[in-house]
Amino acid sequence: MKGLFLNLPYKNKIVRRYNCSYNSPTFLLHPIELISLAGIFRERHGGRPYLIDAIAENKTIQEVFDSITTIVPEFIICICGIEYFEEDMVLINQLKVKFPDIKVILFGHYATEFHEVIIEKASADFIIHGEPDLIFSDLINHFNGNIDIESISGISFKSDKKNIHQKGTKRIPNPNDLPMPAYDLLDYKHYSEPFFPKPYGIILSARGCPYQCNYCVTTFGTKLTTLTPENILLQIEKQKELFGIKSFRFIDDTFTISPSRVINLCKLLIEKQLKLTWSCFSRSDTLDREMLQYMKQAGCTRIYIGMESGSEKILNFYNKKINLDNARKDLLYCKELGFELVGLFMVGAPSETIEDVDKSIAFAKSAGFDFVNIFQLIAYPGTQLFSILKNDIDFSILPYKNQFIDKKLRENADKFQKYFFRNFYFDSTRILFILKKYLKNFYKEIYSNRSTFLEYMLMNSKEKRRKDFI
């Protein structure tokens, strides 16, 4: 059986993940969820997977159609974006019009939340609810005639012109039982992280996050499941062997939740002397000092911190449960060890004032962040925050809109984002620091990315969607 794993086209460089999607003008991450499923299809079902990453390859929908005509897959599986949901549904409809006999499968947070609407209004044949791996595997078993579709939980489909929804999601008890993602299908020259050496790889070493930040769509839920250090090492070595990667990112929601796991992994990386540079996502209250020392020795150079705000009032509103004084101490310790810190902040909470934003800017500077990404708050369906604010939000899935009804709140979010950005970046030390980083790789970075870099620095907010610089 041939199956196509398709990252749909889009006019800009974007990243689609299970739980989020965003513009990434200066970098690109691998479609990790798609290659994980492709690995299952090949190893467990003897299938022949094809991957089209139309974002990385800069393909138009017509070029994707041409490839499909050549491949002739029996199914196409796509991950749906969140911010790009409506555009993705238009493409799915075009796909079905062009290839009515090929089964189209969708997954992702919005596909899960809105499976009833999607199966009704878009022309997908199957929607997988929640973590897709086991349900996808059941579905392939069904395509192969081994099981009835009625026996699969966590799936929506059309049958005799009726829409059937079989509830129930399946978390994977132990992700170590899954085959390795099909890294070999990727063309590594397309993927990168700013200022990191290429070729650049990726690892999803844990799924889920047990914290309860009320705005967050975690990857697959709150239960944390992890790969063993040995399994992670195998996946890193595989990417090194295939593509000679020089750097990579742990794409887990919060890589540092379990210091003992990270320490054991780092010991392995140090012992193997892989000499790779890597980055990860973290929370400021999980920065165990012994763990940080091991991370540094094992090649970690950059930590992304989900900080959100430097105002206690706003952190409480998000149920973030972070003590700012402790956070500052731990972040400064990271700086002492030589890590580069990227702060992920949000503005636009309904009660947020310019004084709160000033506190965030002051915190970002005093805690030693080298870069900040500043997002506007969007409350997503399926989160606690959406339930709290739902009467204040103008939301519809198709056509897609998700914004505060109160115009003043929308204007404030715009204003605060620009204010934070300018006050943080337009400062001589910061500009010198960034220029120095760019000058190291002048042709690779500034020359090839000059327009996106400038666009980002001047904060062109015509497209009011999340845009990450780093």
Stretch that binds ligand SF4, among 174-182, 207-215, 236-244, 457-465 (CB under 6 A): 207-215
Q: What is the largest CA-CA distance in the chain?
A: 66
CA distances (Å), 152 to each of 38, 178, 469, in order? 20, 19, 41
Q: Residue 50 or 386: which CB sits closer to ligand SF4?
A: 386
d(CA 56, CA 40): 22
Instruction: Report residue 375 as tokens.
Output: 């997002």
Q: What distance in Å separates the CA atoms of residue 164 and residue 107, rounded to the nearest whole number?
A: 16
Give the residue with the Cβ less far from ligand SF4, 223 or 410. 223
Applying CB under 6 A, which of residues 23, 156, 218, 360 lies at the interface with ligand SF4? 218
3 state SS of 203: strand
131 binds ligand SF4 per the rule CB under 6 A: no
- Does the CA dihedral 240-243-249-255 come out positive or negative? negative
The answer to whether 213 contacts ligand SF4 (rule: CB under 6 A) is: yes
- Residue 411's CB is within 10 A of a number of other CB atoms, namely 12
Interface mask toward ligand SF4 for 298-317; x: CB under 6 A: --------x-----------
3 state SS of 366: helix
Quote the least distance from Cβ 133 to ligand SF4, whole Å.
20
In the complex with ligand SF4, the residue whose CB is nearer, 123 or 286, is: 286
Q: Binding of ligand SF4 at residue 466 (CB under 6 A)?
A: no
Binding mask 241-260 for ligand SF4 (x = CB under 6 A): ------------xx------
Instruction: Specify the DSSP class assigned to residue 340.
Output: E
- C-alpha–C-alpha distance, residues 72 and 123, integer Å: 19
- In the list 42, 109, 283, 302, the residue contacting ligand SF4 (rule: CB under 6 A) is 283
* Amino acid in position 81: G
- Give dist(CA 356, CA 368) in Å, integer: 19
Task: Count the Cβ atoms, other than its own, within 10 Å of residue 241.
Answer: 11
| Distance in Å, CB of 38 to ligand SF4, minimum | 25
Question: Among residues 110 and 195, whose Cβ is nearest to ligand SF4?
Answer: 110
Q: How far is the CB of 306 from ligand SF4 (least distance, A)?
A: 4
Region binding ligand SF4 by CB under 6 A among candidate stretches 159-167, 209-217, 258-266, 409-417: 209-217
Under the binding rule (CB under 6 A), the answer on residue 19 touching ligand SF4 is no
Residue closer to ligand SF4 by CB (options 216, 389) is 216
Site string for ligand SF4, 150-189 (x = CB under 6 A): ----------------------------------------
**What is 274-320 written as a DSSP string?**
---EEEEEE-GGG--HHHHHHHHHTTEEEEEEEEE-S-HHHHHHTT-
Binding test (CB under 6 A) with ligand SF4, winner from 183, 211, 421, 424: 211
Q: Exactly one of 216, 291, 298, 347 binds ligand SF4 (CB under 6 A); which one?
A: 216
DSSP state of 444: I
**Could you tell me whether strands 14-16 and 48-53 are parallel, antiparallel, or unpaired per DSSP bridges?**
unpaired
Locus of tokens 């006019």:
11
Residue closer to ligand SF4, measured from CB, 123 or 214: 214
Where does this chain bind ligand SF4 (CB under 6 A)? 209, 211, 213, 216, 218, 253-254, 283, 306
